Amino acid sequence: MPDRQSLLEELLAAFPALKPEPFDRAGFMQLRADHALLPPVARYLHDKLHGRLALLWAVDLRPAAERYEVHYLFALEAGRPWVLLTLEIAGPDRLFPSVTPSVHSAQWYEREIRDMFGLIPQGHPDLRRLVRHEHWPKGTHPLKKDFAWNQVLGRQQGEYRFRHIEGEGVFEVPVGPIHAGIIEPGHFRFSVAGEPIMQLELRHFWKHRGVEKLFEQRRLIDGLPLAERVSGDTTVGHGLAYCQAVEALLHIEAPRRARYLRSLLLELERLHNHLGDVGAICNDTAYALAHAHCSRMKERLLQLNERLTGSRFLRGVLCVGGITRDVTLASLAETVEELNRIEADFSELEAIIFANASLTDRLETTGVLTERIGWDHGVIGVMGRASGLDQDVRRDRPFAAYDEVPVKVPLYRYGDVRARLRVRMDEIHESFRLIRELHRKMPVGPLSTSVSGSPPQGEWAISAVEGWRGEILYFLMAGENGVIHRCKVRDPSFVNWPAIQWAVIGNIVPDFPLINKSFNLSYAGNDL
């Protein structure tokens, strides 16, 4: 890859002390930096090379070695390799330099590392607990290798220190963590003076289940059921990201037909979720008619999923090496016919929605997330594309069958609720088109590749999938005898939740449910 060599030469010219790591992983470049070099290199990648911090995580390498590693994965523009910056923390040292002051999107990642590993990011502007709520005993760091997965923790008293705005007429409005209706827990604390929101602070991780620790109790070939349950509405997105990571470790490739069917499943998952979101956004403006019709169409899609795969939410269809269940030509043709009818139905509703002036008035200029703030936070997926951030893994780093069935990526620059609605609507039509194209080009052949053996201990792989919310990332490291040593999971919600705190400023509290629904982020996928 010529671009890889030129990129390496540029980085070594700017930072001669960087140590390139020799390996043959296609599309990746790994560089090691010491503590003093890390912040300027991260700043250079972010500012000079316009690299988005896609993932930041730590690994406890014990018992094989008495050290930790902290990894920073930067996604450069499409066609350029991922840059993996690695920092080693050896012996009893628990400190590492924070990059948050120059790369703002590292903020939650570094707080998470402190909670889970006990490693302290020096210079971080906010070292309050993130995942470990205050009732967790002091010194509890669950992702350290000497912490038992089934250890029962006692409780201690503690209080989270929310940020306060002082001044006459300033009030705080706490919402949650328990909400009315069927919704997962999350705490939102608004500071208002009159009606406009001056500040919103999130407090999440009430739903923390220890997913990454549970992965470490499984073999590589047995982790898929857990991945499918990270976020219940993203079965295929998370399951496919996990499968691809294992396949990369085992140096196998799913057959061409399986890759086509994987793309089909991913687009079906995108369709029913986006349709539900379009209706829910309309419902939060009291436009119940559109909500009812979207719910009806979503139910048709869920029933179609069940006829096609046996599962309304497409669970149990993926496997490491391919697909467990074939789709006959007749079933595929019937699927396309049903989708054509649903698209015609949706297009009629779409025209009605855009003709509704009162709805447009509620959506335009509400919950604006600017391109600059989106970039600073590393926002991805629907939220990013509605704010002018032109990125989509299906196009930029194709997987499954997307190299043979290219994707057209919608892009808007307004960053408001209407723009996020428009992105979803455009993606709904694009998913219909992609499924027709997949049907037209569907190859014949086997559904899966045989899986055997286990990779060497310490071998790792990274997998990226564009789920319906946005980019899903899995880092997978092999341990002894095919057991998982480390599995880092990053749902797009973990990246996008902090940005909503900026999108609501200047709006009124009654607009928050609408703004929140236009983001529609996962609590479970975030909290893990």
CATH number 3.30.460.80 is the correct assignment for the domain at 2-122:
yes
Average pLDDT estimate for 175-182: 83
pLDDT band at 1 (very low <50, low <70, confident <90, very high): very low
> What pLDDT is recorded for position 23?
65
- What digits encode the pLDDT tens for the residues 426-465? 999 999 999 999 999 999 999 999 998 889 999 999 999 9
- What digits encode the pLDDT tens for the residues 320-374? 999 999 999 999 999 999 999 999 999 999 999 999 999 999 999 999 999 999 9
- What digits encode the pLDDT tens for the residues 301-322? 999 999 999 999 999 999 999 9
SS (H, E, C) 73-115: EEECCCCCCEEEEEEEEECCCCEEECCCCCCHHHHHHHHHHHH
Contacts of 43 (CB under 8 A, 6+ apart): 99, 102, 103
> What pLDDT is recorded for position 180?
78
Q: Which of 47, 105, 110, 70 is nearest to 380 (CA)?
A: 105
Instruction: Detail the residues annotated as belonging to a binding site.
Output: 212, 489
The CATH architecture assigned to 211-527 reads: Orthogonal Bundle (1.10)
Average pLDDT estimate for 484-489: 97
Q: How far apart are CA 33 and CA 11, in angstroms?
A: 12
Q: Write the DSSP assignment of 371-404 as a string of letters.
A: HHHHHHTT--HHHHHHTT----HHHHS--TTTTT
Instruction: Detail the residues annotated as belonging to a binding site for Mg(2+).
Output: 212, 489
pLDDT at 154 > cutoff 90: no
- What digits encode the pLDDT tens for the residues 36-60? 999 999 999 999 999 999 999 999 9
Residue at 507: amino acid letter? N
- What digits encode the pLDDT tens for the residues 261-283? 999 999 999 999 999 999 999 99
Residue ranges per structural domain of the chain: 2-122, 211-527
> What pLDDT is recorded for position 24?
61
pLDDT at 183 > cutoff 60: yes
Q: What is the pTM of this model?
A: 0.95
Q: Write the DSSP assignment of 170-218 as a string of letters.
A: EEEEEE-SS-SSS----EEEEEEESSBEEEEEEE--TT---HHHHHTTS
Q: How far apart are CA 81 and CA 64, in angstroms?
A: 29
> What pLDDT is recorded for position 179?
84
Separation in Å, CA 395 to CA 65, 77, 390, 466: 39, 12, 10, 9
Instruction: Give 234's strand partners.
Output: none
pLDDT at 186 > cutoff 90: yes
Q: Which runs of E-coded beta strand occur in 304-441?
A: 318-319, 322-323
Our CA angle for 507, 495, 473, nearest 5°, is: 155
pLDDT at 216 > cutoff 80: yes
Neighbours of 221 (CB within 10 A): 15
> What pLDDT is recorded for position 450?
92
Q: Which of 461, 474, 494 is nearest to 228 (CA)?
A: 474
- Tell me the two tokens of residue 98: 């924070």
- What digits encode the pLDDT tens for the residues 9-37? 899 999 999 999 876 677 889 999 999 99
